A and B are shown apart, each in its own frame.
Chain A
Amino acid sequence: MRERDIITQRLGISRRDFMKFCSATAVAMGLDASFAPQIAQAITAARRPPVIWLHGQECTGCTETLLRPSHPTLDHLILDLISLDYHETLCAGGGHQAEQVMHQSIKENEGKFILVIEGAVPVKDGGVYCQVGGKPFVDTVREIGPKAAAVIAIGSCASWGGIQAAAPNPTGATGVPAILKEQTVVTIPGCPPNAQNFLSTVIYFLTFNKLPALDSKNRPLFAYGRLIHENCERRPHFDAGRFAGAFGDAGHRLGYCLFKLGCKGPVTHANCPIQLFCEVGSGAWPVGTGHPCFGCTEEGVGFNTPLFTQAKITIPTPAATPPPITTEQESQVTPLATTLTGAAVGVAVGAAMMAGKKATSEDEE
């Protein structure tokens, strides 16, 4: 059986669709589409890296979003590209059996598996507010974390605590990076995060055997390098000073900028306006649907700043009252304009003729 037939059979898709997915993934990561074969090779390698997926304080929204995309093969891929050895939502077995499988996989693949953590880690009172298998979650994270090849914190909760960490934070919820301080924990914040950003990070790791470039908060730069405001589809309205003043007003119905309704786009780093959600086309993201961004990917903004508080803009902005940049088509040819044109041409020709005459006469002298 040829390699491509194996892929076709295993993934249930044509080779063409598979290569299209690889190219799209490469481009989403900011790589050249020519990396597609390398990515395809990594994905189809016989030995698939095991993934252990732990859940802490969370709503399983991140897992949901990962299963959501309407791309016909994405769910196949996430299950086939990795060997998902433990995932509480997706495990067929349960209880002690599932626990045993997890510990066995960790023992066999020490230093080789990818650890994905979804949800915040409570640390108050010894971490008793979240227990799995009779053990505080914080201890599980501390135990398994150092054995993993890479740790990925998916979602805002795992990244810095998310909604659990909002004041008054009764359980002392914290993000994984604060627990595993010795290691680099890649964070994919968002509530929920874009599945494509998570997949791209995993595939980058499989392809190049290293983590993608990260920002100061350990977010992959390819996805979180720019402010939402910079690439927002409503940005021209912002620049032109056209704002929605209230939900349902004329400006809101016309799709104007949501800044005055408390949009956090100007302070939130994410690729939402470019990547959009669920692969259903334009408009499928909060601002596209007419709701201001609430800053879920930015620590200190999402679940922290009140929803309708205006964001503080720190990047250069236009003057408070920018001059209009549109021009009305008015009556075009005015007598004054034609007179001026005629006069200017006349003066130029006249002056040139006089100078020419003078030059000739002087030459003859």
Chain B
Amino acid sequence: MSPKSAPLSSRIFTWQFAFFLLIACCATFFIVKRFIFGIGSVANMNNGYPFGIWIALDVVVGTALGCGGYAMALLVYVANRGQYHPLVRPALMASAFGYSLAGLSVVFDIGRYWQMYNMFLPQYMNLNSVMLEVGLCIATYTTVLWIEFAPTFLERFGLKAPLKTLSKMLFIFIALGVLLPTMHQSSMGTLMIIAGYKLSPLWQTTWLPLLFLFSALCMGYAIVIFEGVLSQTGFKRPSEAPMLAKISRVMNWCLGLFIGLRFFDLFTRDAFGLAFTGTTQANLFLLENGLLLAAFILLLSPALCKKPAIHFLGGCFVLAGSGLFRFNTYITGFDPLTGHTYFPAASEITITLGIVAIEIMAYLIFVKTLPVLPSIGKEPHKI
């Protein structure tokens, strides 16, 4: 049985909140502009780069950041490690935000957004399309996440009967919640296999689906550690360091497998030499793998892992390195060979920042009004 969760009783509107609200308002302006005047009026995407940062950051990196729920569900329910249960609910909430906002970004990114509903009509489905798999799977998983998170609302508003019914059926959604991300996170890798020679050999490999799955798991654990430490320092809560330290060990296993497969693949394909050609792509590759290797070495020693600064730093390195791996696969490692170049426009970046701001604001509102974080039995300080 999980320990009780409780809402934090601190003020919602703080100066940090106002800062995020400002960014969100700017983003909203550009979002409205995009819907009236088209993508071209706010973004620099072009015929060579049909994917911009809205897909690469908000969806591909964003859903990986939202894999906390998936990674924790694997650990708690599949590997049956019940002691981590208190971390499941915050992780689920972050996942629900991450996925919902990724879905929202897709709406901005679809040129003819008014035809989007066709994706859900069986008679129009192209069952050979990997994009359809990703789209439908993410849409389904977002729904599943909110259902998994629903007990929080039901508890808050004291709806006991629906809570009881849902608890009986929840195992179905938990099972789906483990299955679906396994499907679409690997399919995101498959998507870029289709890019063929346009993707640099440093990233182009038939192992991309498995690499994307591992990177999603690593980032899932990393975000749990990251948010755990931040909510501890930000809300002045008791330290969850021992539990986070153990999760960092689990993460390091995933990370080791990821790095092992990544380099095995690079060496067997004779592609590793490209890393030292001094191009932007090569340097970003070195940065990406440098961050991941640094995290791996940092977290090798179980004793060092116990220090919050170390597992926090490791988590940050994994988030940056693994996020960069995904970003490079979608944007910087990609060259359409048509002479097109891509750098996001200021308005395009603002929209992405706005999405992040909305996510943070929603997190703050939720933890302060709903029983998300584990109860600590005393009045927490205000921040």
- A344 at interface by CB-CB < 8 Å: yes
Given contacts A324-B38, A332-B342, whether A359 and B233 have CB atoms under 8 Å apart is yes
How long is the Cα–Cα vector from A337 to B41 in the complex, in angstroms?
15
A residues adjacent to B (C-beta < 8 A): 239, 316, 318-319, 322-330, 332-334, 336-337, 340-341, 344, 352, 355-360, 362-363
Q: Which of B56-75 contact A (CB under 8 A)?
A: none
Q: Which residues of A contact B312 (CB under 8 A)?
A: 352, 355-356, 359
Q: Which of B34, B111, B307, B345 contacts A360 (CB 8 A)?
A: B307
Tell me whether A325 and B241 are in contact in the complex, defined as CB-CB below 8 angstroms, given that A337-B344, A340-B349 are known contacts.
no
> Which chain B positions have C-beta within 8 A of A323?
34-39, 41
- Please, how many angstroms separate the alpha-carbon atoms of A166 and B146 in the complex? 59
Verify B308–A329 contact, CB threshold 8 A.
Answer: no
Q: Can you list, as one digit per residue, whether each of B339-351 has a CB less than 8 Å from chain A (1) or not (0)? A: 0111111101110
Contact with A along B228-270 (1 / 0, CB 8 A): 0110111000010100000000000000000000000000000
Whole-angstrom distance between the alpha carbons of A352 and B341 in the complex?
32
A-B pairs, top 9 by smallest CB distance, nearest first, are A323-B38, A327-B40, A360-B309, A325-B111, A359-B308, A336-B346, A324-B38, A358-B233, A337-B346
Chain B: interface size category: 35 or more
Which B residue sits closest to A240, measured CB to CB?
B112
Task: Label chain B's interface by main secondary structure.
Answer: helix
- Give the complex CA separation of A325 and B345 in angstroms: 17
Across the interface, do A340 and B44 meet the contact criterion of CB distance under 8 Å? Answer: no
CA distance A3 to B354 in the complex (A): 73
Residues of A close to B230: CB separation below 8 A: 355
Counted as pairs of residues, one from A and one from B, with CB atoms less than 8 Å apart, the total is: 94
Contact B233 A332 (CB under 8 A): no
Contact B349 A359 (CB under 8 A): no
Query: Which residue of chain B lies nearest to A345 when distances are taken between CB atoms in the complex?
Result: B320
B113-133 contacts to A, CB under 8 A, are: 114-115
**Is B43 interfacial (CB-CB < 8 Å)?**
yes
- Asked if A239 meets B112 with Cβ closer than 8 Å, knowing A323-B37, A359-B312, the reply is yes
Residues on A with beta carbons closer than 8 Å to the beta carbon of B348? 337
Q: Does B46 sit within 8 A of A, measured CB to CB? A: yes
Apart from A325-B112, A357-B309: 18 A-B pairs, beta carbons within 8 A: A319-B114, A323-B38, A325-B40, A325-B111, A330-B44, A332-B343, A333-B343, A334-B346, A336-B346, A341-B344, A358-B233, A359-B233, A359-B308, A359-B309, A359-B312, A360-B307, A362-B308, A363-B239
Q: Considering the chains assembled together, what is the distance between the CA atoms of A334 and B37 in angstroms?
A: 21
Do A324 and B309 touch (CB < 8 A)?
no
Q: Is B316 an interface residue (CB 8 A)?
A: yes
Q: Are A363 and B342 in contact (CB under 8 A)?
A: no
Q: In the complex, what residues of A have CB within 8 A of residue B43's CB?
A: 327
10 contacts between A and B (CB under 8 A): A327-B38, A327-B45, A327-B46, A332-B44, A332-B341, A337-B344, A337-B349, A356-B229, A356-B312, A363-B309
**B163 contacts partner chain A, Cβ-Cβ < 8 Å:** no
Taking CB atoms, residues of chain B closer than 8 Å to A336 are: 346
B37 touches A362 (CB 8 A): no
Residues of chain B within 8 A of A239, CB atoms compared: 112
**Interface membership of B353, Cβ < 8 A:** yes
Cβ of B313 within 8 Å of any chain A Cβ, yes or no, is yes
Complex Cα spacing A163 to B65, Å: 65
Q: CA of A352 to CA of B239 in the docked complex: distance in angstroms? A: 17
**Among A329, A333, A355, contact of B234 (Cβ-Cβ < 8 Å):** A355
Q: List chain A residues, Cβ under 8 A from B233.
A: 355, 358-359, 362
Pairwise interchain contact A340-B341, C-beta atoms closer than 8 A:
no
B40–A355 touching, CB < 8 Å: no
Contact of B40 among A319, A328, A333 (CB under 8 A): A328
